[in-house]
Structure 1
C-alpha cells in the first residue's frame, strides 16, 4: 500500500486535497441530485393526485381550474395515461413499494379532504408495464416514431399509483411517466461536478507548485552543500513569505558553516605546524642516545605520534577536501594498493574485479583502502580484496580471518578513538582512527562503509568483512 502512495510532499498534499475534494463534490452532487429528484417526484405525485381528485369529485367540481398538460413521451402529445378502476392493488408480488412517496401522496390527498384507506406506489420501467407500454406503442406507431426513440422511451421511469378510498372495494390506479429532464438529470450533474473538480484541482496544483518549487530547490541545495560545502550555488529568495524566511535562514547558516570550516582549516594548519616541528627536533635529538634499544623505542613513539597526528588532521579535513574529483579506473586503483602490500611481502590476496570508471578523489580512496587492509592484516593476519557491482554501486570487499567484532560494538568501532576488546588492544598499535577515517572517506564519495562478522557452520566467527560502497552515477 505504501508503495502506491506518492513520496514527494507535493504528491501527498495533492492526493489528500484530491480525496477531500472528491468526497465533498460527490456529497454535494448527491444532495443536489436527491433534492431535484425529490422535486420531480413531488410533481409526479401532484399529477397523480390531480387525476384522482378529478375522478372522485367529478369534472364539474374542477371547472375553471387549469388542467396541467401531461407529456409522458416525445413527439405529438397524447392525452396521457387514463385513470383505471381495478379490484386489486397495482403492485406485483415481487415489487418493492415506495413508502416515502405513499406518505407524501397521502398528505396531498388529505389536504384535499379525501379519506384514503390504502395507498400503493411502485416504480417500473415503461417497458415493464403492460398497459402503459401497449398504449405507448399504439401512439408511437400512429405517429411513426423512430425505433431508436421508441426504445429509449420504453426505458424511462414510470410511477404506478393505486388508491383505495374509505368505504370502497375498488382501487383507483393511475400512471405517471417521469419528465424527460428527470432521466437526463444525472449526466449534466456528473459533468458539472467533474468540471468544478478539475478547476479546483488545477488551482490547488498551481498553489502547491508555487510552495514546493522553492522547497525542492532548497532540498537540492542542502544535498549539494553537504558534499561541496562552499557558497557557490546558493538559491535566491523566492516563494511565499514563510519560504523566503526559511531560505534566508539557510543561506545565513551556510555562511556561518563556511566561516567555521575556514577557521578550522587555519587552526589545523597551525596545529600541524606547531606539533610537527618539535617532533622533528626530537628525532634529531634521539640520535645522541647511546642505548640502541632505548633509541629505537623513542623513535617508535615519535612515529606513532606523527602517524596519529596525520590521522587526526586527515579526519578533520576529509569533510572538506581540497583536491577535485577525477575520472579514475577503480579496478586499477584497487590493484595498485594490493600490489603495494604484495611488494612488502604481506599476505594480501586479490579476488575478482571488474573494470569501472568513477568520479573519485583517488588519494583519499587509497587512504581508506590502506586503512581497511591494514586493519585486516593487523587483527586477522590476512586480507582478501575484491571489487564488484551491486545495482548502481561499486562494492569493495575486504575480508580477514580474525576474531571479528562483537555485534553490539560494530557501529561504535567506526567512531574516532574507539578500540575494541583485548583482541584489538594497544599492542597492535594505532589510535582507533582508521575505521573512522575510512567511513568518512566513503561518506565523502556519497557511499558507505559497513562491517559484518562471518559465521561458520557451528555459529563461530570466522572473520570480519568490510564492505565499502561508492555510487557509480
Structure 2
C-alpha cells in the first residue's frame, strides 16, 4: 500500500515529500552555515582530543636540534592541526589573556610532558571582535625557552550560545517556510483553477470542462465535476429541446382552436374560449422564457446599484405611480444589472398591484447588500410564504392572467438572486403589508 501511495501522485505523497524536503532543506542550510561560519560550537581545547597530538609533537620537536625544529614543525602540520615553532613568543601575534593549562591536571600532558611545561590556550572569544585570526591556539614553552603553537584550521565567528541557537531556529524556520510556500503553491494552483472554473460554470452553463491536473485526489474531484457538468449540460439541452418541441406542438392546436372560436355563435362562450387560449399561450411563452434564461446567464459587471433602483422608481413615477426610496445616492456593486432590474421590477409590480404605498430601500452591512421592497397591502398567509416561489403557484383564485399572472415571476426572481449567491425572502410586516428582501453578497 505504501509503495502504491508513493508511486502515484497523491496528497499524502506530496505532504510526506514536503515534510522530508523541509527537513532536508533545514539541515542543508544549517550545514552551509556551519561550513561558512566555521567551528562555532566547539568545547575548550583541552576537550577537543588534540592535546595528545600536541604532547607527542612537542616531545619530538623538543628532542630535535634547534636548526631542524622549524622544518619538523612544518612537517608535523596536517589539515587538522597547524604547527609552528619560534624562538620568541611575540612572533606569533597572539592576544593577551590566554588560559593556562596545568599539565598535572591533564593526564595525557602529565604523562608525556611532565609538570615543567608552560601551556597556554586561546579560544576564539579571546581574540578581538571580527578578527580574521580568531582560532583555537595552544602555546607550549619548550625547555630551552623557545615556543610551539598548535592551531586548528577552522575559523570561528565567536557566536555565543543564545545567538547560535537563534540562528539554527531561524534557518530551520526559513527552510520550512520556503518549502511549504512552494508546496502549497503547487497544491493551491490546481484548486484555484478548479474553483475559478466552477464559478465560471455557475455563470456560463456552456463553459468547457476543467483541465485535469494536480494530485490524484484533486484530479478525481475534477473528473467528477466534469462528469456532473456534462450531465447538467446534456439535461438542460434535452429540456430546452423538449420544451421547444412542446411549444411548437401546442401552438398549432391552439391556433386551430382560436380559428374555430371565431365561428362560434355564442359570443359569451367565444370570449371565454379566447381568454383561455390566450392564457395558455401566455403560460407557454412564459415557461419557455423562464427556462431559456436559465441557460443564458448575464455576465457580471460593476454598476451603480443605487442609481439603477432610482431609475426603476422614476419609470414607475412616469406612469403616475409614486414609490418612496431610501438609501445612498450612489453604491457601486459588481453583479448582473439586468437580472437585478428584473427582480426589483417584479417585486415593485406586485407591491403596486396587491398593496398600497409601495416603497424601496437599499441597505448594507459588512457582508451583505440588501434591497427591500415593501407595501401596506393584505400580505400573504404564513403557510403560503414559501409556496409562492413554486412555479405556476398563484394566490389569485380567479385565474385571471391580468391580475394573477402565470405564477412564474417570483420563481424567476428567486432563481436570478440565487445565481448571484444571494437570497430572496418574503415576510409579513408587523403593521400590515408584505416585505420582500433581496440579499446579495457584498463585494470585497
Report the TM range for the smaller structure's normalisation.
0.5 to 0.7
Deviations 1:289-341 (A, max 9, x none): 34444333333333332333233223322321277678877667656655665
- What is the aligned partner in structure 1 of residue 70 from structure 2? none
- Say yes or no: does 1:280 pair with 2:255: yes
Deviation per residue, 1:151-202 (Å, 9 max, x gap): xxxxxxxxxxxxxxxxxxxxxxxxxxxxxxxx94444234223322332332
Instruction: Find the aligned partners of 1:363 and 1:192 in 2 and give their Cα distance.
Output: 60
What is aligned with 2:295? 320
Q: Is the aligned partner of 1:426 residue 2:397?
A: yes
Query: What's the counterpart of residue 222 of structure 1?
Result: 198
* CA deviation after TM superposition for structure 1 residue 221, in Å: 0.9
Do residues 264 (structure 1) and 234 (structure 2) align?
no
How far off is 1:270 after superposition?
1.6
Contact kept in structure 2, 1:449 and 1:468, CA below 8 Å: yes
- Offset from partner CA, 1:236-285 (integer Å, 9 cap, x none): 33222332333233334323322322222222222222223332333333
Distance 1:260 1:206, change over 3 A: same
1:77-128 CA-to-partner distances (Å, cap 9, x unmatched) read 3689xxxxxxxxxxxxxxxxxxxxxxxxxxxxxxxxxxxxxxxxxxxxxxxx
* In 2: Cα distance, 1:302 partner to 1:262 partner: 28
CA distance in 2, matches of 1:335, 1:298: 41
Partner of residue 464, structure 1:
434
Cα distance, 1:406 vs. partner?
A: 5.2
Contact 1:328 1:358 in 2 (8 A): yes
The whole-number CA distance in structure 1 between the counterparts of 2:302 and 2:251 is: 34
Q: For residue 349 of structure 1, what is the aligned residue in structure 2? A: 323
TM-score, normalisation: structure 2:
0.54
> How far apart are the structure 2 equivalents of 1:336 and 1:291?
47
Among 172, 185, 207, the alignment partner of 1:196 is 172
* Corresponding residue for residue 77 of structure 1: 99
3-state SS, counterpart of residue 296 of structure 2: coil
Q: Aligned match of 1:436 in 411, 418, 439?
A: 411
Give TM-score scaled by structure 1 length. Answer: 0.51
Deviation (angstroms), 1:380: 2.0
Please give the alpha-carbon distance, in whole angstroms, between the structure 2 residues aligned to 1:242 and 1:445: 29
Distance 1:284 1:416, change over 3 A: same
C-alpha contact 1:314 1:437 (8 A) present in aligned 2? no
Please list, as runs of the form range in 1=range in 2, the aligned pairs for 1:237-316 lying within 5 A after superposition.
237-316=212-291
User: Which sits farther off after the overlay, 355-364 or 366-375?
Assistant: 355-364
The whole-number CA distance in structure 1 between the counterparts of 2:332 and 2:99 is 86
C-alpha spacing 1:329/1:305, structure 2 compared with 1 (3 Å):
farther
Q: How does 1:338-377 map to 2 (within 5 A)?
A: 338=313, 347-352=321-326, 354=329, 364-365=339-340, 367-377=342-352
Paired with 2:332 and 2:256, the residues of 1 have a C-alpha distance of 44
CA contact (8 A) 1:400 1:463 kept: yes
Cα deviations by residue, 1:135-163 (Å, 9 ceiling, x for unpaired): xxxxxxxxxx99x9xxxxxxxxxxxxxxx
Shift of 1:431: 4.4
3-state SS of 2:359 partner: strand
User: Residues 33-88 of structure 1: CA distance to partner in whole angstroms, max 9, x if unpaired?
Assistant: xxxxxx99xx9xxxxxxxxxxxxxxxxxxxxxxxxxxxxxx9243689xxxxxxxx
CA distance in 1, matches of 2:304, 2:270: 44
- Is the partner of 1:351 in helix, strand or coil? strand
Pick one of 174, 177, 182 that aligns with 1:206.
182
- Look up the SS of the partner of 1:455 in the other structure: coil
3-state DSSP of counterpart to 2:433: strand
How far apart in 2 are the matches of 1:205 and 1:468?
41
Distance 1:391 1:192, change over 3 A: closer
Answer yes or no: is the 8 Å Cα contact 1:304–1:430 preserved in 2: no
State how far apart, in whole Å, the 2-side matches of 1:285 and 1:334 are.
Answer: 46
Q: Secondary structure at the match of 2:379?
A: coil
Structure 1 position 358, deviation (Å): 6.9
Q: 1:304 to 1:440 in 2, by over 3 A?
A: same
TM-superposed CA distance for 1:215, in Å, is: 1.0
Q: Partners in 1 of 2:223 and 2:299 — Cα distance?
A: 29
Q: Secondary structure at the match of 1:288?
A: coil
Alignment length, in residue pairs? 311
Shift of the 382–336 alpha-carbon distance from structure 1 to 2, 3 Å rule, reads same
* Cα 1:312/1:381, change in 2 over 3 Å: farther
- Partner SS state of residue 452, structure 1: strand
5+ unaligned residues in a row in structure 2: which ranges?
A: 1-10, 27-42, 48-95, 103-125, 130-158
Q: Verify the 8 A CA contact 2:305 2:332 in the aligned structure 1.
A: yes
Q: Which residue is equivalent to 2:134?
A: none
